[in-house]
Amino acid sequence: MTLYEHWVSSAYYRDGRTNQVLWKDYLPKEQKIYEDIIGNKKTELKGTVKELAEEYKMPEYYIVGFADGINETQDPEIDLEKLEEDTPLAIKIDFTRLYKKMVEYKADHLYSLPQWEGIFTKEEQEALYKEQKRSTTIVNEGPKIGRNDPCPCGSGKKYKKCCGANK
């Protein structure tokens, strides 16, 4: 079983539910990593999976879980299936991208860490938060066309008999 398979099978049950016991243990440890990264303004996290696990005092498969969580901010993404204890990791930290991902995932315990104040002002954090929220909001373009309104294509027919006939 790979470390990634161990992580997934430990964090989630076969029916898709989360293992609350594991997450209760994992989340505070993950938060400590982010407190270290953000508080010390680290732009890269380097070491083997084993070294990082020892540094942050957690099992190796938790480091793989951390890599899984931060993976969408990586270019290119980490091939999680290939991670072994001696695999070197070089996780690049883009603070803007990381903050926005935390907002996207509703990880308020992470994007509200006080360490962010050493990276972004309160105003910058608020702007990033709003920018991320707006990026996932669907905006209705223009007024709604009623069934009996003239068709906007200019045919002279009612919308329901023209462009709206198949809707």
* 134-158: average pLDDT: 84
Surface-to-core class of residue 56, CB atoms within 10 Å of its CB (0-12 exposed, 13-18 middle, 19+ buried): middle
Pairwise CA distance, residues 69 & 27, whole Å: 11
Which residues are CB-neighbours of 102 under 8 A, at least 6 positions away?
110, 111
Give the pLDDT confidence score for residue 136 in this predicted structure: 79
Cβ atoms of residues 105 and 68 within 8 Å: no
- pLDDT tens string 9-38: 999 999 989 999 999 999 999 999 999 999
Amino acid identity at 153: C
**CA 38, chain centre distance (Å):** 16
Q: How confident is the model at residue 141 (pLDDT cuts 50, 70, 90)?
A: confident
**Backbone torsions φ then ψ of 154, nearest 5 degrees:** 90, 10
Give residue 86's pLDDT.
98
Could you give the CA distance from residue 83 to residue 25 in angstroms, rounded to a whole number?
22
Mean pLDDT of 59-65: 98
Maximal CA-CA distance, the chain: 73
